[in-house]
Chain A
Amino acid sequence: MPKWGMVIDLDKCVGCQACVIACKEENNVPHGSPEEQRSRREIFWHKMIAVTRGKYPHFRVELLPMPCMQCDHPPCVTVCPAKATFRREDGIIMQSYRRCIGCKYCMVACPYGARSFNYKAQEGKPYHHQDEPPDRKSWEPWPFPTRTQGVVEKCTFCFHRIDQGLREGKKIGIEVVPACVEACPSQARTFGDLDDPQSPVTKLLASRASFRLREELSTHPKVIYLSR
């Protein structure tokens, strides 16, 4: 079984936020409004944060693109009372919108702020990908979901692309990558199997110094950054 992971090279990253927008474009993630930003109710599956330090003129800002870290020891899964969030065999942390009771416990537990609560009903947009109707008997999440109000949602590593790619026998990480990886104009992102010594991600990790966010919490994120 592969273990999907993502490597983000902060030296190549240009802070353009194409990843943020491509994620919204791919997954029908609704856009916010000034009011929602003020009350912090926006939904982002992928965000960009700025870490600042120093005083003028010795000032530095580091921009960090942050999808869900897809932790191998995910605190969100541990705390979920409804078993709505779970770890797939390939390591992707998924959210079942049908099981979720909207208690937001996972949002509190997540040390990366990767999760968003959906406060509003889906607003139809002409550019939305149309829903592929799920098998109603199944409890599995489905791609391009029409949003369910009152549940927590998060980045899925574009699992629908991976699953589809595997069905079609394509090389994951080379021919098929998540939307943010595909959209990155500076190609700072790499996706692949962390357990495969031949995959682009493992090769890249072997070549450079890398770090994960908040390693001290032993969450074992599968999103790994290459430092500048």
Chain B
Amino acid sequence: MRGRKKDSGEKKNDLQGFRLTRRKFLKLTAIAGLSAGTFGIDKVSPEAFATSSFPSGSRGRWIPTSCLNCSSRCGISVKVEHGRVVQIKGNRLSLVSEGQICPRGHIGLQVLYDPERIFTPLKRSQPKKGKGIDPQWKPISWDQAIEEITRKLRSLRESHIPHHLLLFSGLNSRSHEDLILRFAEAYGTPNLVSGEGLDDEAERAGRWMGDGHFEPFVYDLDHTHYILSFGADLIESAPPVARWLRKWGKIRRERSIRAKVVDIQPRYSLTASKSDEWIPIHPGTDAALAMGIAHVILKEGLFEEEFIKRWTVGFEPYRELVLKEYRPESVSKITGIPAEVIYRVAREFGQTRPALAIGGKGALAWPGGSYTSYAIHCLNALVGSLDTPGGVLYQEFPEYRALPKIEGDEIGRKGLEQVPIDFRRTELFPVARVVTNQIPKSLREGKPYPIEMAIGFNSNFMMTAPGSGEWGEALKRIPFYVHISPFVSEMAQFADILLPATTYLEEWGYEHSSPGGGFVEVRIKQPVMKPMGESKSIGDILFLLAERIPGTVTNAFRRIGSSVEEFVRFRTSSFVGWEEFLKKGVWRGPGYEYRKYSRIFQTPSRKFEFLSGNLKMLQNGKKKMMGQAAPLMPCYTKVKWLGEERQYPLLLFPYQPLLTFENGSQNYPWAQEIFLPMQGVGWASPAEINPETAAQLNLKDRDRIWIESPFGKIQNSVKLSEGVPPNLVCIPLGQGHTSYGRWQKGIGCNPNEIIGVDFDRLSGQSTFFNTRIKLYKA
């Protein structure tokens, strides 16, 4: 096989290459046979993707659009040569990440050209549902698919139970989120469930207690001089990732003052290796440390007196609490950090201005996580790092052209009044906006009412939610499930009808921060090529569905255009011209204005509150959503572990590496082969264990082991690492796919399978780290 492929056009494909007609698809499917797994999709793609020859000399052109491989949604520039996408780089006009993108951005090429994407609507012919059961897909036409789906949708509305429709929204564009929300409202269901309950709800709730903003934190990285990071994997998974990567270079060496970064977390992460100092902490004790640091700051008078006097309330009771209960010596016993280190770090933090305290998932996805977030928020308030250069910012949002009001009917109004099935904002989860992981329980018990039908938009909670086995059990119970995604994800395997969605490079949309940099930035998402096969964008599918649900839904969608392109144009026309937007891809609002203290605090006192008035209102409000005993100030509570210590001596600590995709798939060889740079391994998700622990258990590097928790067991391999404390087992998230993909199926394991379902009760945030485990040789 020496020598190169001939340049003559002997194997001439259509230049577009991938327009797989339905007829061709059926033919190929027939040849492949409706065999195991993804019914021979494997057989289709190689032919569709075989290289062909092209005339040389063309330099291609760059098209600005947006990435969607994680929730940061960076502006990108995509190079198209001969109708094929060959290169992706950051859009230089986007200031959130200063025109840079993270490695996942480049892998968009493999997301687009994933050889196992689906290109035609599919219907299951196997009535039994379950993990590992082949759905036996049969291709159907779009018309038939839409008709079957809308027939069911119409019948729910006719029976006056629109709230029996459940919508899952995974990682979608802002424009598509807006459309899905509009669909839910027009249809009349309160049950729109996003994945945010798995990510940062505790962070938001903690912020809300202090300043009333139920938003993830945004930081002014350009000007900060000191970063104290509590379990935030700043350069691995903290959104917006590309912004962090860019600003890291900036704060270290592109200014006269180099920012110091202190990373506090149990595991020696990539962020720890790049920080100035790594302080290992006992898992789940970050709130105590934050309060201990506050103790030193208060005692030694290192706080920002002016700001506290003028713009905060509740300082005295807070000071009393901190001084009484959180002496560094006692905090040291809880956290395992020597008292002198706490003193030193607290003094550094208190004496450097501007300084930032940042809480991440590793510190917050615990029971009581919102109080931890609140405690960290209070640190920023103490040193006056709110809405200042180098401090916490208040994200501004674009003013899109307002959508025409939905003229709801009686059916829809009644539906919307129902309690959502995740029990958000009830006594169960008083502050929650969405409780993603409550869904399996509600579905299983049929409470507060049964669900007749569900639609999944790019969601894959079966991979990303703790206790993923529960999701399988629950999805089985949905009588009619429609899934929309570009590939057969784990959740898609439970679908009755599976619709092929386009990837983000083939569709229209708009994106904005947050997560961002405080200032307003809107980025366009425009197709850089025609949709492959018969795939359609989620937005366009919604327009198709709405068309056939007469009444409220049809009207609601008719008034905003006939396609996503028109919708995007309509929405953005309030601030940017269409031609300019298409060409530049980015629109930015005015610069960020600091110190807007008189109008940013959305609390009863209109000031920052060390004693949360927002929480107090919940306690004393009409609904009495919270008990009187609930603390109103930040506090540390001892973690309740799932599992007995005697039986399960070790702790499971999952983490998200940078190359874990958030779109529900991992079928991307560029990411897989260099998945864990710190461990030097790819195509795997080994359990990292301290060599001492391994010696006690008689385990060696690369041994196969069982990891067992009270909720199940998974098999994995061992990787010895000195960066892991002796009582911890660290496993990366993102692997362990079971449904499709030659580059992901059967690789590694998914720790979510054995993590118990538990919540931070206040915010509905799923906990990830409080499960006990044991190990033994497989």
Contact = CB atoms under 8 A, between A and B. Distances in A.
Scoring A33, A42, A55, A62 by chain B CB atoms within 10 A of each residue's CB, the highest score goes to A33
A20 B81 contact: no
Given A11-B252, A31-B669, A48 B674 contact: yes
B315 interface: no
Nearest to B51: A124
A26 B250 CA distance: 26
A170 interface: no
A184 B97 CA distance: 12
B180 interface: no
Interface residues of A, number: 59
Contacts of B84: 126-127
Contact of A59 (B244, B268, B673, B743): B268
Interface string A125-142: 111111111000000000
A200 to B, nearest CB: 13
B110 interface: yes
A122 B684 CA distance: 25
Interface string B639-679: 00000000000000000001100000000011101100111
Contact of A61 (B97, B673, B723): B723
Contacts of A104: none
B235 interface: yes
Nearest to A49: B680
A34 B5 CA distance: 26
Interface in A41-64: 42, 48-50, 52, 54-57, 59-63
B56 A126 contact: no
A22 B88 CA distance: 9
A218 interface: no
Scoring A14, A18, A26, A63 by chain B CB atoms within 10 A of each residue's CB, the highest score goes to A14
Interface stretch (B99-107, B563-571, B767-775): B99-107
Given A126-B17, A148-B3, A186-B246, A18 B102 contact: yes
Contact of A52 (B112, B248, B673, B722): B722
A18 B49 contact: no
A213 interface: no
B405 interface: no
Nearest to B4: A146
Scoring A21, A33, A127, A185 by chain B CB atoms within 10 A of each residue's CB, the highest score goes to A185
A82 interface: no
Contacts of A52: 722
Nearest to A54: B722
Given A14-B248, A129-B86, A20 B3 contact: no
A183 interface: yes
Contacts of A48: 674, 677
11 contacts: A26-B87, A33-B683, A48-B677, A63-B677, A63-B678, A125-B113, A126-B113, A130-B53, A132-B57, A146-B4, A185-B101
Interface of B: 1-5, 7, 17-18, 49-51, 53-54, 56-57, 81-82, 84-90, 97, 100-103, 106-107, 109-110, 112-113, 235, 242, 244-246, 248-250, 252-254, 268, 270, 273-274, 278, 280, 658-659, 669-671, 673-674, 677-680, 682-684, 690, 722-726, 743, 747
